[in-house]
């Protein structure tokens, strides 16, 4: 059976060619997680991607049986222009939530960290976007589910509150209507426009 993290790393490297650097983080009681920085590319865009979340399938804390093979698998991808390398630890914290809190990372999930995503950021929460957009799903041998790569969309606290109250689709529509650049690390809330 292939090592899932090796396949994930190969998929990411094929998707984001160019300069890269990596940092590994281990939290008490979790396996090591790696965050790879790709870029900047010609447009100044930097991608941060996790490797390690998908090593095991995710299960909610209420699951009566934790299957070591069956269950959803995911990794996270954050795009910023310009990059903010201080976000590496924050992304690792988000990636550890399945192991630490039993959170299943799926499209539409809102995670509020209650603190800036990096020093000085107005953004303190994230919305997980639809998979298979930026990085195609990684098919694994049966019976394992594919690894899904979720875009990490940074949000302000009031945007996170709106997403919880009205739904992620409502917030995404507001962003679309306002032409919000979610890759801008210095952007303001769509609700203050």
State pLDDT tens for residues 166-181.
999 999 999 999 999 9
- Burial of residue 120 (CB within 10 Å: 0-12, 13-18, 19+) is exposed
Domain boundaries, the chain: 4-187
Tokens coding 47 = 């991608």
How do 147-155 and 73-80 pair as beta strands? parallel
Q: Report the range of poorest mean pLDDT among 53-67, 82-96, 97-111.
A: 53-67
Is it the case that residue 150 has pLDDT exceeding 60? yes
Q: Of 142, 62, 42, which is closest to residue 103 (Cα–Cα)?
A: 62
CA distance 120 to 191: 20
Is it the case that residue 19 has pLDDT exceeding 70? yes
Q: Report the range of poorest mean pLDDT among 33-47, 55-69, 145-159.
A: 55-69
Residues of the chain with pLDDT > 70, as a percent, come to: 98
Q: Is the distance from CB of 70 to CB of 59 less than 8 angstroms?
A: no
Residue 48: asked if its preceding bond is cis (omega within 30°), the reply is no
Place of tokens 């991608």: 47
Q: What's the pTM?
A: 0.93
Q: 3-state SS of the chain: helix, strand, coil percent to 5? A: 30, 20, 50
- Which pLDDT tens digit goes with each residue over 180-192? 999 999 999 999 8
Q: Is the distance from CB of 128 to CB of 105 less than 8 angstroms?
A: yes
The whole-number pLDDT of residue 193 equals 63
More confident residue, 145 or 82: 145
Mapped onto helix, strand or coil, the DSSP state of residue 176 is: helix
Q: Of 158, 4, 8, 165, which is closest to residue 77 (Cα–Cα)?
A: 8
Mean pLDDT of the chain: 91
Local confidence band at 4 (pLDDT 50, 70, 90 cut-offs): very high
Mean pLDDT of the region 1-27: 87
């Amino acid at each position: 059976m292939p090592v899932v993290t090796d396949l994930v790393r190969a998929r990411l490297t094929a998707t984001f060619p160019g300069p890269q650097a990596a940092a590994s983080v281990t939290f008490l009681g979790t396996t090591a997680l790696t965050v790879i920085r790709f870029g900047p590319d010609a447009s100044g865009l930097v991608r941060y991607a996790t490797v390690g979340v998908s090593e095991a399938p995710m299960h909610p804390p209420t699951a009566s049986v934790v299957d070591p093979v069956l269950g959803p698998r995911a990794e996270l991808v954050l795009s910023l222009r310009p990059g903010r390398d201080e976000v590496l630890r924050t992304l690792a914290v988000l990636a550890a939530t399945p192991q630490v809190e039993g959170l299943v990372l799926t499209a539409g999930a809102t995670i509020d960290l209650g603190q800036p995503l990096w020093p000085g950021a107005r953004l303190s929460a994230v919305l997980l976007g639809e998979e298979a957009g930026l990085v195609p799903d990684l098919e694994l041998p049966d019976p394992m589910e594919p690894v899904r790569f979720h875009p990490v969309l940074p949000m302000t606290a009031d945007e996170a509150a709106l997403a919880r109250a009205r739904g992620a689709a409502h917030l995404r529509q507001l962003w679309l209507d306002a032409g919000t650049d979610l890759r801008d690390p210095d952007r303001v809330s769509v609700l203050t426009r």
